[in-house]
Amino acid sequence: MPLASRDGVQELAKVKPRGRSGAKSTTKVVEEHQDLAPELQDRPVWYATRFSDFDIHLFREGRHYALYLKLGSHPMEVSGRQGTYFAVWAPNADQVSVMGEFNGWSRDNHQLHVRLDGSGIWEGFVPGVDAGSMYKYHIKSKYNLYHAEKSDPFAFRRETPPHTASVVSDLKYEWQDQAWIDRRKNKAGQAQPISVYELHLGSWRRKPEEDNRPLTYRELAEELPGYVKHMGFTHVELMPVMHHPFNGSWGYQITGYFAAHSLLGDPEDLMYLIDKLHQHDIGVIMDWVPSHFPSDEHGLAYFDGTHLFEHADPRKGFHPDWQSYIFNYGRNEVRSFLISNALFWLDKYHVDGLRVDAVASMLYLDYSRKEGEWIPNEHGGRENLEAISFLKEFNHAVHDNFPEVLTIAEESTAWPAVTGPVENGGLGFNMKWMMGWMHDTLDYFSKDPIYRRHHQGEITFSIIYAFSERFMLPLSHDEVVHGKGSLINKMPGDEWNRFANLRALYAYMYAHPGTKLMFMGGDIAQAREWNHDSSLDWHLLEDRYHRGVQEILVELNAIYKAEPAMYRHSFSPEGFEWVDYNDAHNSVLSFLRKGDSPDDTMLVVCNFTPVVHEHYRLGVPQSGDWVQVFNSDDSRYGGSNQHNEGVLSSVPEPFHGQQYSITLKIPPMAVAYFKLRPQ
């Protein structure tokens, strides 16, 4: 492999990379076949590189999407010696040294060599340093006598907090999920049900008998896949598992973008968990945070004595809400860092999707800022043009390299075409969280049913814009924290009514167009607000009402996956038709969900009051028998068991603008589904 030149002499070394995972790589290490000169082998840091001229070109252009194969620490062999190659980007450093266990944490003994091509990359091979060795970079800046001990931005493994060292890792893991990967590719681009179980790994279950510690990745792998499979969810979404120093940030303040959070185990342990989920036919979506990063001195902030990763002007580079730094999306090397990080999790960890956090904060220069606290763009507007360009490039890179992988935006405004194709001016996401639906729906359900007649427009409004984007309906962690209370405790009334409301909410959500997401705890009607330091209250399942909520979700997921009408046209109006949205007096809604065949049609009837409606007449689109296939008021779930027995035969009497009609009983505080059997 070619080595960095010194004094005009190009030295060469025979390099054998080792420890690479079996995953497909997008770049290759250049190899040569000449040993390092013997007189250079006595030095503590040998000249070596993993970069070709083309790598440097791509890095400078902001289009190197596999930097994790180049920068960071990589065990390998040079001239017959085992050791580790180190490389770090610090263009404003005057000196960069590797310090670690191997040299007694000396700040000066192992100085890296700066490349002479102006890239700002410092690199070198240290013989005798193996996987598992702890290290940091000691960086002396060219400016203001600044120096600091920094964790490696590209380290695959980190020391457990509060310790901050990086750990040399080779990411050895033998994947057993090829059947899943093949199925994922075969289903790409097809309409499919997507029902997501969002969870925080550190608080899903804990070990109270062992000082309330969280389950490790390996322990989770023995419990989580089976549970999610039983519940019928198609995917899990993991709140950030990237390395973070403060558990109270829930993972959203990341210092180690390429490292699995070490509190729960090693990188290979997380791979094992993902592998097990895939073997249970469960996809894995990860939360990804390119919007901001914390100010911890060992992290990315002020990395080489300058604002390297963050924008230098605090009006663009500092986030007032989260007291954290904002990436400089206009700097090419930073774009390479971020997009490489996204592809890293898809490549090395076989992740099936990325949910991008806080997209709105990236899109607007004045996000959460007062007048005078932000800088307009070159056109005088408030749009962050650099962030917009970055998000488009991110989606383009992901879908170019992994066409079957999903990208999902948490975007809380009416920004146009978030899920529109990049080539048509859109941002290129596959889906967007329907934040308006979540807020309006929870606000409606929190009202006493006697007042809901005055808020019918609040619960029907979402259909007006339901097909303007490819929406996912979230009941996320954001709604059960910071004093908002749990979902069950948002519901009004006595115990029966609260649980009936919650069951109706879930049944309405599964019938509404869009894919689905539910945060853990919602599946058992967790009574307490979520606490990241404690387990979910699994003992609640001893109560029949809580158990009924779990059972209704099993049923809803089964119907959602089995009935094409419920997912075939999730993002287009041809899959939805109102029957009647005007019965505000009774707080009743009725609509059709449709597939490609009339035989797929489902009639959904919602009653958001505790009053039973006998002999209620509804228009239906065609002749046939309508059979009740689901009722959230079933006694199995804790309901009052008010059912429509047998079949409901349509009669040729026009009603609600339809040619036929049926007469039915509408159960109290419930949602019922009816399936058409055409005559």
Of the candidates 65, 60, 52, 47, the residue with the CA atom closest to the CA atom of residue 91: 60
Number of H helices, E strands in the chain: 13, 32
Q: How far is CA 645 from the centre of its chain?
A: 43
198 is annotated as an active-site residue: no
Catalytic pick from 410, 411, 469, 523? 410
3 close to 21: Cβ distance less than 8 angstroms: no
Contacts of 271 (CB under 8 A, 6+ apart): 171, 173, 175, 348, 349, 350
CA–CA separation, 62 and 317 (whole Å): 19
410 is annotated as an active-site residue: yes
Structure tokens at 597: 């065949």
Q: List the Cα angle 269/270/271 in 5-degree steps.
A: 90
Q: 189 burial class (0-12, 13-18, 19+ CB within 10 angstroms)?
A: exposed
CA–CA separation, 343 and 290 (whole Å): 13
Amino acid (one-letter) located at 117? D
Question: Strands 134-141, 93-100: parallel, antiparallel or unpaired by DSSP?
Answer: antiparallel
Element (H, E) at 236: strand 235-238
Q: List the Cα angle 447/448/449 in 5-degree steps.
A: 105
Catalytic pick from 159, 357, 386, 469? 357
Contacts of 633 (CB under 8 A, 6+ apart): 500, 503, 639, 640, 641, 642, 643, 667, 668, 669, 670, 672
**Rg of the chain taking only CA atoms, in angstroms:** 28
Report the first-to-last Cα separation within the chain, whole angstroms: 74
- Residues with a known catalytic role: 357, 410
